[in-house]
Amino acid sequence: MIGLNHYLIISAALFSLGIMAVFTRKNAVNVLMGVELILNSANLNLVAFSRYSSGNLDGQIFAVFIIVVAAAEAAVALAIVLSMYRLIKTVNLDRADTLKG
């Protein structure tokens, strides 16, 4: 039977992969994918604790809220990446050091 520990281990692995992607990648799109992995690991924790607690739906409601915020974050971040590409012709984060535009 799959218990709470299994969900927490998978969530920790997702969170670790997301942190590694954010800190080691130089491409802006890959960094955004790492942030999405971090948010999905938080969602998995919320839903797992909601499932194994006294049966309330608070964790699932927070998970839906995080999904909505992540969708908005992805849209804004991709707009910023497209603007960065238009201005400096690359999505490499090492080259994104100026604020002029």
Apex 14 CA angle, 47 and 31, nearest 5: 120
For 13-72, what is each residue's pLDDT tens digit?
A: 999 999 999 999 888 888 889 999 999 999 999 999 988 887 788 888 889 999 999 999
The distance of Cα 100 from the centroid of its chain, to the nearest Å, equals 28
Question: Looking at residue 27, what DSSP letter applies?
Answer: B
Say if residues 47 and 81 touch (Cβ distance below 8 Å). no
- Residue 52 has a pLDDT of 86
- Residue 5 has a pLDDT of 93
Highest mean pLDDT among 30-39, 79-88, 92-101: 30-39
What's the whole-model pTM score?
Answer: 0.82
Say if residues 10 and 44 touch (Cβ distance below 8 Å). yes
Domains delineated in the chain: 4-88 (1.10.287.3510)
- Residue 15 has a pLDDT of 97
- Residue 101 has a pLDDT of 55
- Residue 8 has a pLDDT of 95
Question: Looking at residue 57, what DSSP letter applies?
Answer: S
- Residue 95 has a pLDDT of 75
